[in-house]
Chain A
């Protein structure tokens, strides 16, 4: 038998709160007393989870621990960091570095997720029902090891540099993305069902980016390879047709960039190079 742990903020946070401990791995096997005493940082001060949040436990007949966050967590960072199992459900907005480095389990956000959602994750699944900020799946500043595996699904729009330095896994955006989707990526797949603001795949050396919507232009360091009727992602077929580009040539890359042909008639001049 496991439990549902319900957490609500006691007040509106003015400074960032680092709550790495909000994770099923940490909560497992702990009582309310112990959970309330877990250490969090509010700005540069040491606090406990109980100082900042109301915590309730509910029993349930299920094998996995569920953490239910209720309210605005937009200032709360690193929720579910490094988690390997269990489930976190967030009803509200959530702060940066959600599920950073996670290798298993599931996070569902019924709201907006700030930047670095699923940063450098290795496995598991994150589903964001609203929009997301910048750097989805990207590593921490300065690090060169991005997302390695797992799935991130965003139902709304996403910001810049989605899948920066990505090394594996799948990112799926149903809305549109801003600049530099898949920058410096090495492997893995990014699917954008909406539009892209451009500069897709800058510096990419491997992997695939599929853009089903409009893109203003392709970087000059990409060359067109052929036109494909559809793309296959883990058995699912996305029908095109797509222009297939290879790049980024400036980095001797072999990444593949699929751009919808129908939505981008202004790119038809590439066909003469085929």
Chain B
């Protein structure tokens, strides 16, 4: 059925619309110029905010590591139980919610597209099965390729074209979307109980440095013409003094940028912005990072904001997760995924009164506020590492209201408060900037042309929040903002109303986008088969035939066809 959303204040940054009262017409799941008002279902959005559906660029919602996290945390689920309704299935939260609950909760907050950022290629089938069971929202997933033996070997031998072909094959085989790099080199070194200490510390037995991996895969990313940049979790994440490594990481691909287009996405940057040389002297490095990002345009970031709560940390960064276990003494999981990557899980509680945790909280917000251009930094908590995604509305209120920040500042560790830069920052996000940080910016960074905006031809993924921007002053009434963003008045997915007044009214299935490569000079399916077959016998415990995921394995796959070209070297 056609839809007409009447009279809302529309925030659509990709089309430059800033709070104008406009009507949005929807036909067959797409936004169109006009529909017949008498035949369409009319939604009265007067006095409300209309935004494109939210996009989360980095959220661990599916896959074997999330599932291990679920197994590890029954005490987390018991606090947060959702019962079955006529429309929705039962499930549990809190920090590692079950798949159905994840989909419903995101939809209730007006989110319609999620990026599952770390998928060990070997576990791709499992990941896609869980993504298929995450209702309403659309999904993309990034295979972990930074420590894959093939990549390490080809980059060591300077065989960029072969590397690109194999990466392309892997993206097709796992139905992935972008190249994810986690602690490049460090995960392979962790196989020998070690880690890499800097960008120029060679990986044992491979003799390739993290710098070469990042640069190599960045070039591969350009050769393959992938819509997203490389998605990097930096070396030395979570260690005091790592901001220097982060700056070096950003700088090492600077020369690969053309026309000021981003070439690297530093994810959950808060965890990579620590100054100091021990936990006692740890300080915020947000100022330096913001200074660099303000001066350069080849980088995008996401926050990785910390929330003071009990959560579950999970990354593919095995050595870091082991350190975290040693710090917290909590129960832990660590796993080596053959040939490809590692992973670890540790439950963790961020405490207001802890100096380090409170400083981390401050760093995330400092980054978001000190980086002037909202198109460069996006709102995430690295769910569930910094806190569960259900806390996003609180982050929105911190960004929009100095008063909300001060309210929390009052309660945190004294030493952290004294050192925090937040009291010196007056900036408050506008609704337009929030729309960039939570949807438009992400869509642009991901290269999804039909998402994150409300122009004609875009997918009709729309979120309507019950806030009147003319009446509500976000800097004072931040609680109103929080409530409104937690429960969207309407969420519309593919032209259907799925959420009304914060409750799911229709549970539809979302799509999974994956990258396919059109015929070009790089033809992964033909050219890599021989060497792959041989290496599969040598390296993996699985057979090549069992590895490849056919498109029919996914419930609602949508391929995005890319023409890969050889990038001028």
- Residues of chain A having any CB pair with chain B under 8 Å: 41, 44-46, 139-144
Contact with A140, one of B74, B83, B331 (Cβ below 8 angstroms): B74
B212 within 8 A of A: no
Interface set, chain B 59-111, CB cutoff 8 A to A: 72-76, 78, 81, 83-85, 90
Once bound together, how far apart are the Cα atoms of A141 and B74, in whole Å?
Answer: 6
Once bound together, how far apart are the Cα atoms of A46 and B90, in whole Å?
Answer: 10
Number of A-B pairs, beta carbon distance below 8 Å: 24
Q: Which chain B positions have C-beta within 8 A of A44? A: 83-84, 90
Given pairs A141-B75, A144-B330, 13 additional interface contacts (CB within 8 A) = A41-B81, A41-B83, A44-B84, A44-B90, A45-B84, A139-B75, A140-B74, A140-B75, A140-B78, A141-B74, A142-B72, A142-B76, A143-B75
- Residues of chain B having any CB pair with chain A under 8 Å: 72-76, 78, 81, 83-85, 90, 330-331
Once bound together, how far apart are the Cα atoms of A140 and B83, in whole Å?
Answer: 20
Once bound together, how far apart are the Cα atoms of A140 and B73, in whole Å?
Answer: 10
Closest CB-CB distance, B73 to chain A, in whole Å? Answer: 6
Once bound together, how far apart are the Cα atoms of A41 and B84, in whole Å?
Answer: 10
Ordered by A's residue number, 7 sampled pairs between the chains whose C-beta atoms are within 8 Å are A45-B84, A139-B75, A140-B74, A140-B78, A141-B75, A142-B72, A143-B75
Q: Which chain A positions have C-beta within 8 A of B75? A: 139-143
Across the interface, do B84 and A142 meet the contact criterion of CB distance under 8 Å?
A: no
Once bound together, how far apart are the Cα atoms of A46 and B83, in whole Å?
Answer: 7
Q: Which chain B positions have C-beta within 8 A of A45? A: 83-84
Closest CB-CB distance, B82 to chain A, in whole Å? Answer: 9
Q: Which chain A positions have C-beta within 8 A of B85? A: 46
Once bound together, how far apart are the Cα atoms of A140 and B76, in whole Å?
Answer: 10
Closest CB-CB distance, B70 to chain A, in whole Å? Answer: 11
Residue of A nearest to B77 (CB): A142
Once bound together, how far apart are the Cα atoms of A130 and B85, in whole Å?
Answer: 39
Closest CB-CB distance, B96 to chain A, in whole Å? Answer: 12
Closest CB-CB distance, B185 to chain A, in whole Å? Answer: 34
Q: Which chain B positions have C-beta within 8 A of A140? A: 74-75, 78
Once bound together, how far apart are the Cα atoms of A141 and B85, in whole Å?
Answer: 27
Once bound together, how far apart are the Cα atoms of A142 and B72, in whole Å?
Answer: 7
Once bound together, how far apart are the Cα atoms of A144 and B85, in whole Å?
Answer: 33
Closest CB-CB distance, A65 to chain B, in whole Å? Answer: 26
For the complex of A and B, the 4 pairs showing the least CB-CB separation, nearest first, are: A143-B75, A142-B75, A44-B90, A142-B74
Closest CB-CB distance, A121 to chain B, in whole Å? Answer: 15
Residue of B nearest to A44 (CB): B90
Residue of B nearest to A18 (CB): B81
Q: Which chain A positions have C-beta within 8 A of B330? A: 144
Closest CB-CB distance, B211 to chain A, in whole Å? Answer: 41
Closest CB-CB distance, B541 to chain A, in whole Å? Answer: 31
Closest CB-CB distance, A226 to chain B, in whole Å? Answer: 32
Once bound together, how far apart are the Cα atoms of A44 and B76, in whole Å?
Answer: 18
Q: Which chain A positions have C-beta within 8 A of B76? A: 142
Closest CB-CB distance, A151 to chain B, in whole Å? Answer: 24
Closest CB-CB distance, A18 to chain B, in whole Å? Answer: 8
Residue of B nearest to A100 (CB): B78
Closest CB-CB distance, A255 to chain B, in whole Å? Answer: 18
Q: Which chain B positions have C-beta within 8 A of A46? A: 83-85
Once bound together, how far apart are the Cα atoms of A45 and B81, in whole Å?
Answer: 12
Q: Which chain B positions have C-beta within 8 A of A144? A: 330
Q: Which chain B positions have C-beta within 8 A of A143? A: 75
Across the interface, do B83 and A142 meet the contact criterion of CB distance under 8 Å?
A: no
Once bound together, how far apart are the Cα atoms of A44 and B72, in whole Å?
Answer: 22
Closest CB-CB distance, A113 to chain B, in whole Å? Answer: 19
Once bound together, how far apart are the Cα atoms of A44 and B81, in whole Å?
Answer: 10
Q: Which chain B positions have C-beta within 8 A of A141? A: 74-75
Once bound together, how far apart are the Cα atoms of A139 and B74, in whole Å?
Answer: 11
Once bound together, how far apart are the Cα atoms of A143 and B73, in whole Å?
Answer: 8
Q: Which chain A positions have C-beta within 8 A of B81? A: 41
- For B72, B76, B81, B83, which residue has the most chain A Cβ atoms within 10 angstroms? B83
Closest CB-CB distance, A99 to chain B, in whole Å? Answer: 15
Residue of B nearest to A120 (CB): B75
Residue of A nearest to B79 (CB): A140
Once bound together, how far apart are the Cα atoms of A143 and B90, in whole Å?
Answer: 23
Closest CB-CB distance, B74 to chain A, in whole Å? Answer: 4
Once bound together, how far apart are the Cα atoms of A41 and B83, in whole Å?
Answer: 8
